[in-house]
Structure 1
Amino acid sequence: MRVPLSWLREYVDLPAGETGRDVAARLVRAGLEVETVEQLGGDLKGPLVVGEVLSIEELAGFKKPIRHCFVNVGDANGTGEPQEIVCGATNFKVGDKVVVVLPGAVLPGPFPIAARQTYGHTSAGMICSARELGMGDDHHGILVLESHLEPGTDAVELLQLVDEVLDIAVTPDRGYCLSMRGVAREAAAAYGLPLADPALLDVPPANAFGYPVKVADPVGCDRFVARTVTGVDPAAPSPIWLQRRLQKSGIRPISLTVDITNYVMLEVGQPLHAYDRSRVDGPILVRRAEDGEILTTLDGVKRKLSTEDLLICDNSGPIGLAGVMGGATTEIVDPVLDPETGEVTGSTEIVIEAAHFDPVSVARTAKRHKLPSEASKRFERGVDPEATRAAAQRAVDLLVLIAGGTAEEGVTDIAAPHPVRTITIAADLPDRVAGTGYGRETVTRRLQEVGCSVIGADVLEVTPPSWRPDLTDPYDLAEEVIRLEGYDNVPARMPNVPPGRGLTEAQRFHRRTGVALAAAGYVEINAYPFLGEAAFDALGLAKDDPRRRTVKLVNPLNDEEPALRTTLLPGLLGALRRNIGRGNTDLALFETGTVFLPKPELSVAPRLSVEHRPTDAELAELDAALPDQPRRVAVALAGERLPSGWWGKGGPAGWADAVEAARTVARAANIELTVRQAQHAPWHPGRCAELLVNGRVVGHAGELHPRVVKALHLPDRTSAMEIDLDALIADGVQKVSGPGVSAYPVATQDVALIVDAAVPAAEVESALRDGAGELLEAIRLFDVFTGEQAGEGKKSLAYNLRFRAVDRTLTADEASAARESAVAAATARTGAVLRGV
């Protein structure tokens, strides 16, 4: 909402020295979001005056039209003589009143003006367009003023070129601030000044002579006011003050009737619609659309209507989408000049509609037809239903005043009964919420400034005003008191933390996971949790893959990504691709976050009351309606893992680095991870590792499939890992302690075993570890050999075993016995044969 300061002063008598920034600071303190304060005409300097065109000489011989003019500027030039000006515009004639800037002046830009020789003549000034004056983007021709203005009149004041405009970002709960009336109310409260409410007008009562209207859907439309004005002069232009206020508010002037409806909407907050009565066929009917109905809206688009759309109709059918946009068949006809007779034809009989529509219905219709408008923006946030009569009266008064129309005596006012909303609030509730003492008198005064009626002492009965549909419970009222008293006056106190609380073991583990991966050289990212079928196709997932079963959003940010993720890989690989596209070739990324797995049976979450804390049963019902949300961690690597340099060639990232990342996560949980070969999309079938804990699969790691790499435009050999953190610690988080340090020497033993090629190395290692017993400190696979010496279908695995005791030096016999026990266990479980035996 753009709020000109000069217009705001009409409703609140602000101190003379208050600047736009001062007012913005007060409004921000009251809880409004003032984004900018625009200075209009800050670099404008006169003389800038009204001029009358006395003569025009068309100069020939140039590529574009050039006119040599003499203009009467009164005494503004100091001589009273006509001003000689050369101009290239052709939309003005002799006798027109125009805006003239004289030498020595400065136009917005800044653009200084001086007399100069051009096209063989002296041009002592300039005849201005609206854009040159900073009045908008219209640069199609010269700005022609009203004919009654006197030459030499100061145009700066006439056109209100110097002003300040506050740009306010209105939040959805403060729809009343999408009007000068609403912002003025906030300014009046912020300064402690009275408000001149523009909606306080004398309005005649409803009678039987008004334009006939029938409301078939009182839920969708609970208030409809119609007024008629006849004898409107179609040639009457919008006065300068009206056009300037619209321009400063960000609305382009169109025609007098349309400008008036827009002006009243900005002033009072009530959207209006004007119909050409001669084009309306019979009574007006408000109803829901029927199947197959079509409406051509004012933008010229034919729209297929939904049965949920609320319509304004006449005997011919739909003539408008209620609260969104009118129809083309009844729009106000633009004035047309007959060149032969000089007469102007256009709409002369106007029906003004001021109605109150259901916010949800308007919002859904605007979204369904992708047709946001200034009217729908206000209706869907909540409009004051009691302002309809005043808004219609204001529009009628302006049409009578400016266009010479006559207001008909008939007044149509159809209103559905409205129950009175009363909220009971303890007088000390704002004190308890803010942790400070306001007192009953302050609470009552602030609520009355909002527009509430308040009765009572210790317990207050509060009736919110009709323009505040957002005030529904005691805490809304407490917030109003606190914000008007100033959020900066709320004392800052640290909360008392009860003893014995802190992070859970699972939370500590999640933190350790991130720290461990960051220490290993990975960079954390946070991707959007949304995806579509294209992401699954790129990963090469089968049609029946359970990861394709997703939770879909009713209101997605992007129609192509309507589902919540079931895997972290699409977002992680997308971030990898974007970084590579920007020249970062060596990358190691990780992300921790939840995935969303739908439950077999779909249930709907209940709507809980805000009047009390949910019961355990209600909380259980909420949890049952939610999808499963396990926490996972994933990594992605591309490029060099060890950088190249003067010291030599680096090492590329590969599947082994992805597996090691999984081991890093497992070490953070103090859990032993088993790794074995597997096949699982989107990994390469020959370079994919399955990650297990106690025989339970918790994730996968390895090199991505070449088809996936190609589909996602990633470098060759890109590797990734994804592991389920909740499954990893399903048996509980093991407390992590520092490694023990023994003062006794280590005993090292090597062992080489021949096994079948199909036997996983992890299985052999597990057997060796179990057989070696508690003296085994570490085990490492350092060689894998296949060939004739190993035998056909066989492979040789060489392990380094480290033995150490914490209380003594091991003897050679003890180390050898432990080694033999490890080999025996491997032989029994895997059929291994000691190499060389």
Structure 2
Amino acid sequence: MKFSEKWLRDWVNPALTSEQLAEQLSMAGLEVDGLEPVAGAFSGVVVGEVVTCGRHPDADKLQVTTVDVGTGELLDIVCGAPNCRAGLKVAVATVGAVLPGDFKIKKTKLRGHPSHGMLCSFSELGMGDDHDGIVELPTDAPVGTDLREWLDLDDVTVDVDLTPNRADCLGIRGLAREVGVLNNLDVNAPEVKSVAPSIRDTLAIELEAPEACPRYLGRIVKGVDVTAKTPLWMKEKLRRSGVRSIDPVVDITNYVLLELGHPMHAFDLAAIEGKVSVRYAHPDEKLTLLDGEEVSLQNDVLVIADAQKAMAIAGIFGGQDSGVTAATRDVFLESAFFSPAAITGKARRFGLHTDASHRYERGVDPELQRTAMERATQLLLEICGGDAGPITEAKSEDHIPTFTIVTLRASRLLKVLGAEIAPQQVTEILQRLGFSTKFSDEQWTVKVPAYRFDIAIEEDLIEEVARVYGYNNIASAAPLARLRMYRNSEAKVSLRTLQQRVLALGYQEVITYSFVDPKHQALLYPNHTALNLPHPISVDMSSMRLGLLPGLLTAAGYNQKRQQPAIRFFETGLRFTPNSDAENGILQEPVIGGVAVGSEVPEHWKLGNAAVDFYQVKGHVENLLAANGATNEYSFVASSNPALHPGQGADIYHNDRYVGFCGALHPQFDKTFGIKGRAFVWELSVEAISTRAIPRATSISRYPSIRRDIAFVVERSLAAGDVLNSIEKVGANHIVELHLFDVYQGDNLPSDKQSLAIALTLQAADRTLTDEDVNASVNQVVTALETEFNAVLRDS
């Protein structure tokens, strides 16, 4: 927010220089971005009056004038401004004057005619960019007076970068209150008197959305002269605050906004049909804005409407059809409190950012509407004339924000700040901030004023005390840290451990956005509903991811297009699944996933250039599962995941609990993500694989192990894993290891049969096994497989 320092000092005037004031505001949390003079450095410029003005005989675009500057002698000055005319009060740079840029005014001749000075525009005085014509001063400007002194131009514009929580300082009123508190000074606010109505005209007001607009005030003012000139003092205050003068009605509402921090709007009364209604827009309702752009409104946009149409987007921008024009004679003034939740994000939806939306999104004082209305009415009658009607107010007490009660403990204040502040001083600070305070039992009970939306918890009050007390007044002290050993569970597998394992397999870690393209995600997860963002960064980043696949595949395709044929990417992050039982209706689960495309190993003369396949990726996943030392508890089951190629995907279970999947990406998605070659993907729940079995120490056998190889003929559809699991469940004595070393399908076997060759390793801890021991264990396995799978022991 920009404001004039002198305007602020009209309210409260501390004995500080401009730089000291800026430093004080910054240290109080109201960061000052810069100080800028309101006018350029010039001297010798006085108020003059054009006595005569005629065309230059030798130049069509020049005029010859005589100007009175109060010296008793008229000056001949040649001027090229189109708005120069007799009787005009102007800014005259006399001979010897120095304008911004060290430009000195001298006697000269223009097209043969002498010129003893210069009639100045605002831009030539460093007072803005307006160079279309010379400065037009009020008729009561005293001729001969120094312009800098008369306009009080020894002023600076202060640019304050307020954080969103300090909406109460988006006006001179709030800033003056802060400066008064910081300097222990009283604030001299201008008196706002109630304007007695001189007519009885009113408009009915209806609140159809009281939760969004719990208070709305309106007032009719008739006989307004919109062609009246905005006073120079008001124009200057607006200019020094970065606001351009438009017409007196708009200037008055802008002035009230800057002075009190409360937005207002004026409607052309003749354009209002029937009552005024505050409601949500009808679906696809049209409205032409003041800038001429037609927008289509949705039913979550709050509007100000009459009986027939929407007239304005509430708290954001007015409509063209109901706006004040040069033909307006009667106006309807609006002063309302809109809930920040009803306004937030709506301006950006329409590509707008207005002074009103900036304030309403952050919150305005719900008690300030009547004061703003009276102030605007007072100024309107003074400048434009007219007759004011009574104020009509519609409100919903149940929806108006109530006062917040917060407790501050003296012990907590001391612990956080590390400085002991006398209770009486703390009480004084809080009361100067406008808080109602009661101190007892070593704590303060604080009633927070309505305009301080940001005060909700004890720490907020501590911050207020600290910044007013002065951060520089709090002694620096080295922090005292006591080291404490944290408990580290041996059964916990850290995320870092999982990441290191995947890195060792040749993968590279990537980080992708949690926001993904909803179209791509719907293809990969057709049976799931995603959480869509109401205000996304862009359309292709408008959905929260249901898994890591969209980001990983997009990254793989992006890199392949940049001459990276072999891709090994993995990522750890959250997936977001709508779940009514979860906090805020969304389940956030940490997962780890990867994608592999291209050759298994770098190109090599001996190793070849074979592409990665399902079993290699499955091996990567098994390596990761081995981190918890319980690989025998995991099983791979044929998957029906629509993102995977049918018959080439597996769902992974841990003791009948689903933990993830792996497999080949369905070929139909290759073009979608720009994948070249077969892509293999996997994803696992981090929580499900991050608990390891605690190692148990056992004695190492000193006796030799014995290996027995057995081969079975079983159904071709039988999974080898089921056979191995069955052998483990049998629990035959002395079997310490088993693995599948051959699968045969072909000659000498029926087409629906296969041969599985399994190696059994047997060993005892206390003795050397005999043939009888080994045979007994092997026979136990053979019997179990014959019974469960109808397996036939193969002789050759």
Q: Secondary structure at the match of 1:715?
A: coil
Equivalent of residue 405 in structure 2, options 406, 416, 423: 423
Contact 1:749 1:819 in 2 (8 A): no
Q: What is the match of residue 513 of structure 1? A: 498
Equivalent of residue 632 in structure 1, options 564, 574, 591: 591
Equivalent of residue 681 in structure 1, options 606, 630, 642: 642
* Amino acid paired to 2:159: L
User: Which residues in structure 2 correspond to 1:680-759 (within 5 Å)?
Assistant: 680-694=641-655, 697-728=658-689, 733-735=692-694, 757-759=716-718
Shift of 1:707: 0.9
Q: What is the match of residue 30 of structure 1? A: 28
Q: Secondary structure at the match of 2:11?
A: coil
Contact 2:295 2:350 in 1 (8 A): no
**Structure 1 vs Structure 2 CA RMSD:** 5.9
Deviations 1:676-703 (A, max 9, x none): 6555331222432443434655322122
Shift of 1:495: 7.7
Shift of 1:631: 3.7
Q: Secondary structure at the match of 1:204?
A: coil
Shift of 1:569: 1.7
Equivalent of residue 146 in structure 1, options 126, 137, 148: 137
Shift of 1:303: 6.3
State yes or no: 1:387 paired with 2:394. no
Equivalent of residue 324 in structure 2, options 314, 332, 336: 332
* Amino acid paired to 1:254: I
Equivalent of residue 385 in structure 2, options 394, 405, 412: 405
Q: Secondary structure at the match of 1:567?
A: coil
Shift of 1:755: 5.4
* Amino acid paired to 1:535: H
How high is the TM-score relative to the length of structure 1? 0.71
Q: What is the match of residue 159 of structure 2? A: 166
Q: How many residues align?
A: 771
Equivalent of residue 178 in structure 2, options 169, 183, 186: 186
* Amino acid paired to 1:374: D
Cα distance in 1 between the residues matched to 2:118 and 2:710: 98
Cα distance in 1 between the residues matched to 2:506 and 2:630: 21
Contact 1:359 1:382 in 2 (8 A): yes
Deviations 1:369-403 (A, max 9, x none): 887643344335332244334433433454455x3
Cα distance in 2 between the residues matched to 1:58 and 1:791: 118
Q: What is the match of residue 442 of structure 1? A: 425
* Amino acid paired to 1:196: V
How high is the TM-score relative to the length of structure 2? 0.74
Q: Secondary structure at the match of 2:547?
A: coil
Cα distance in 1 between the residues matched to 2:751 and 2:105: 97
Deviations 1:531-573 (A, max 9, x none): 575234432x5x5x3xx24566677776777665433322332
User: Which residues in structure 2 correspond to 1:61-72 (within 5 Å)?
Assistant: 67=61
Deviations 1:711-748 (A, max 9, x none): 2222322221012344446xx642369x9998989989
Equivalent of residue 538 in structure 1, options 507, 510, 523: 523
Q: 1:424 to 1:634 in 2, by over 3 A?
A: closer
Q: 1:538 to 1:422 in 2, by over 3 A?
A: closer
Q: 1:734 to 1:11 in 2, by over 3 A?
A: farther
State yes or no: 1:255 paired with 2:253. no
Q: Secondary structure at the match of 1:333?
A: coil
Q: Secondary structure at the match of 2:681?
A: strand
Cα distance in 2 between the residues matched to 1:664 and 1:463: 61
Structure 2 gap segments, 5+ residues each: none
Shift of 1:522: 3.2
Shift of 1:11: 3.5
Q: What is the match of residue 662 of structure 1? A: 621
Cα distance in 2 between the residues matched to 1:470 and 1:46: 47
Contact 2:762 2:774 in 1 (8 A): no
Q: 1:368 to 1:438 in 2, by over 3 A?
A: same
Equivalent of residue 187 in structure 2, options 178, 196, 212: 196
Q: What is the match of residue 468 of structure 2? A: 484
Q: What is the match of residue 270 of structure 1? A: 262
Shift of 1:352: 3.7
Shift of 1:206: 5.7
Shift of 1:659: 1.9
Contact 1:223 1:355 in 2 (8 A): yes
Q: What is the match of residue 614 of structure 1? A: none
Shift of 1:668: 1.6
Identity over aligned pairs, percent: 27
Q: 1:663 to 1:44 in 2, by over 3 A?
A: farther
Q: Secondary structure at the match of 1:383?
A: coil
Cα distance in 2 between the residues matched to 1:496 and 1:122: 85
Shift of 1:135: 6.5
Contact 2:281 2:298 in 1 (8 A): yes
Q: 1:758 to 1:81 in 2, by over 3 A?
A: farther
Deviations 1:241-293 (A, max 9, x none): 544544554544322220221121022112122244566678x6455579799
State yes or no: 1:11 paired with 2:11. yes
Contact 2:645 2:663 in 1 (8 A): yes
Shift of 1:666: 0.8
Cα distance in 2 between the residues matched to 1:74 and 1:208: 44
Structure 1 gap segments, 5+ residues each: 61-65, 335-345, 604-621
Cα distance in 2 between the residues matched to 1:145 and 1:804: 108
Cα distance in 2 between the residues matched to 1:822 and 1:47: 115
Q: Secondary structure at the match of 1:212?
A: coil
Q: 1:304 to 1:674 in 2, by over 3 A?
A: closer
Cα distance in 2 between the residues matched to 1:94 and 1:440: 67
Cα distance in 2 between the residues matched to 1:57 and 1:427: 79
Give the stretch that moved more between structures: 570-579 or 556-565: 556-565
Q: What is the match of residue 613 of structure 1? A: none
Q: 1:597 to 1:311 in 2, by over 3 A?
A: closer
Contact 1:99 1:128 in 2 (8 A): yes
State yes or no: 1:454 paired with 2:437. yes
Give the stretch that moved more between structures: 414-423 or 211-220: 414-423
* Amino acid paired to 1:146: L
Contact 1:270 1:387 in 2 (8 A): yes
Cα distance in 1 between the residues matched to 2:108 and 2:622: 81
Contact 1:49 1:156 in 2 (8 A): no
Q: 1:42 to 1:226 in 2, by over 3 A?
A: closer
Equivalent of residue 359 in structure 2, options 378, 384, 403: 378
Q: Secondary structure at the match of 2:362?
A: coil
Cα distance in 2 between the residues matched to 1:387 and 1:649: 79
Shift of 1:445: 1.3
Cα distance in 2 between the residues matched to 1:511 and 1:262: 57
State yes or no: 1:467 paired with 2:448. no
Shift of 1:234: 3.7
Cα distance in 1 between the residues matched to 2:114 and 2:746: 101
